A and B are shown apart, each in its own frame.
Chain A
């Protein structure tokens, strides 16, 4: 058994050794700047274009529609600000949801200073966004809609294709066109990423969520989509993202995505079974344990709970002392004092949100590790409830 049990795959994943292998030559021997004309540079350029084709195959788009960025946050910023600025003569209204990643929420908020306004769609108790609500929010000023494909905290999978169709039909009825973007950072190598089936104009991915390296993201921009670059300089990425391309990371991102998609069926099945073992082993067995998010429309790797009478941060420390790495959406863990905006939007009370815990499994976890968690976690919760007084009637 490993010296610790890693159950925070939604935060990041270890780089697959095969991906490391693929990247290595591009740090040392094949280090050329892809903009050069000599053979060494052309070797880098070739590797980059091959990587672009690999990604395009997965997304079902043409390679020219794929941009490599410095991560998913950069891709979200570029998509939202780049789309909004390019459309500023058509309107100033954006639509997103209340449960997006901060890279999306804060990008939308940053646009307030430039005269844009954003509607934040509510979600139901399972974290689902309604396509009807989204369509109703479209006005004759709407320019861009951004909805995540799957939520990073509670794992709920959003009906992005239905939402896209609904908002576009509504916009067309108003005689206008709008951009639909999806942050698919949690869905890479897990869900179908075909951009035509998702009916999106822009899509964000982060390599480090699917066993690729950190510091590299992917932004898909459908041909013909208005886009104002957010990073200026050289003509890299067809003038859409300046800066010398990070070849080793780009090669790593593409290889990681290729492997993740190739092994998607096996990995999803493996993760789903571990996830369900966690859920079934805790909800209904531990008193005052609740599952957050949708029971079935959820990422195969995500189990998210609230436990009455404990604070998530203390549970994390207790788990860490047993060699188990997990995460929590409770206040105190994020450095902010506010409870998770996702749980709050789902109607979870501040009292209950204090005790939230996210366990996200990965391909290297096994049943034995899950059983260890099921043995250790209830004990930690019981101990903390004794300290909080929740184990006894509270007067």
Chain B
């Protein structure tokens, strides 16, 4: 890394955040997604869309699109890795604290990134339930 500034004077973000910001995993859209969750933080304008592919109650694929700060992008990315292979029950347990831990912590003032992504995940799981409702009713 070229920047002397960032690492010497601005150790604000964990290495994991910087890794996921620099090389975000699972960016993009799942065209035939089984669930989509879209959240926007009205205050700062950060927006996330999470796409899930679900088979037999297990999340088999996850992709995201996020317009946001470094933290929002990194947490979005780490979340797609985190939920893959998890059951819907397990995914429902993931909250903003889990997501903060998953990137080795967020600096003060950046915890909203965890809220945004946790809400998008919740919205996606809600969307799946709504789509499934006519069949299961």
A residues near B, CB below 8 A?
Answer: 3-4, 309-311, 313-314, 317, 320-323, 325, 330-333, 335, 337-339, 350-351, 353-354, 384, 386-390, 392, 395
Q: A340: shortest Cβ distance to chain B, in Å? A: 12
Q: Name B5-62 residues within 8 Å CB distance of A.
A: 5-6, 10, 13, 21-22, 24, 27-29, 41, 43-47, 49
A392 to B67, CA, bound (A): 13
Q: Which residue in A4, A310, A389 is a CB contact (below 8 Å) of B65? A: A389
A43 to B24, CA, bound (A): 61
Q: Which residues of B contact A320 (CB under 8 A)?
A: 3, 5-6, 10
CB–CB A353/B67 < 8 A: no
Q: Does the CB pair A354–B44 fall under 8 Å?
A: yes
State how many residues of chain B have any CB contact under 8 Å with chain A: 32
Q: Is the CB of A322 within 8 A of B72?
A: no
Across the interface, B69 reaches (CB within 8 A) one of A311, A322, A353, A389, namely: A311
Most interface-central of B22, B27, B44 (chain A CB within 10 A): B44
**What's the least CB distance linking A341 to chain B, in Å?**
14
In the bound complex, residues from chain A placing their C-beta under 8 Å from that of B5 are 4, 320, 323, 325
Residue of B2, B6, B45 ringed by the most chain A CB atoms within 10 A: B45
> Given the known A-B contacts A3-B4, A337-B43, are A314 and B73 also in contact in the complex, defined by CB atoms under 8 Å?
yes
CB distance from B39 to the nearest CB of A (A): 14
CB distance from A343 to the nearest CB of B (A): 12
A323 to B47, CA, bound (A): 27
Asked if B112 is an interface residue, CB under 8 A from chain A, the answer is yes
CB distance B69 to A387 under 8 Å? no
A387→B112 CA distance, assembly (Å): 19
Which residues of B are at the interface with A, using a C-beta cutoff of 8 A?
1-6, 10, 13, 21-22, 24, 27-29, 41, 43-47, 49, 65-70, 72-73, 109-110, 112
Q: Given the known A-B contacts A331-B43, A331-B45, A337-B43, are A309 and B67 also in contact in the complex, defined by CB atoms under 8 Å?
A: yes
Report whether over half of chain A's contact residues are helix, strand or loop; otherwise say mixed. loop
Question: Quick check: B44 and A332 within 8 Å, CB to CB?
Answer: yes
Q: Is B66 a contact of A321 with CB atoms below 8 Å?
A: no
Residues of A within 8 A of B21 (CB): 314, 317
Report, nearest first, the 6 A-B pairs whose CB atoms are least far apart: A389-B65, A388-B67, A331-B44, A313-B69, A354-B45, A337-B43
- Please name the residue on chain B nearest to A316 by beta carbon: B70
Give A82 Cβ to nearest chain B Cβ, in Å. Answer: 34
Q: Can you list 29 contacts pairing A with B, beta carbon distance less than 8 Å?
A: A311-B46, A311-B69, A314-B21, A314-B73, A317-B13, A320-B5, A321-B2, A321-B22, A330-B44, A330-B45, A332-B44, A332-B46, A332-B110, A335-B109, A339-B45, A350-B45, A351-B45, A353-B45, A354-B44, A354-B67, A384-B73, A387-B27, A387-B67, A388-B66, A389-B28, A389-B29, A389-B49, A389-B67, A392-B29
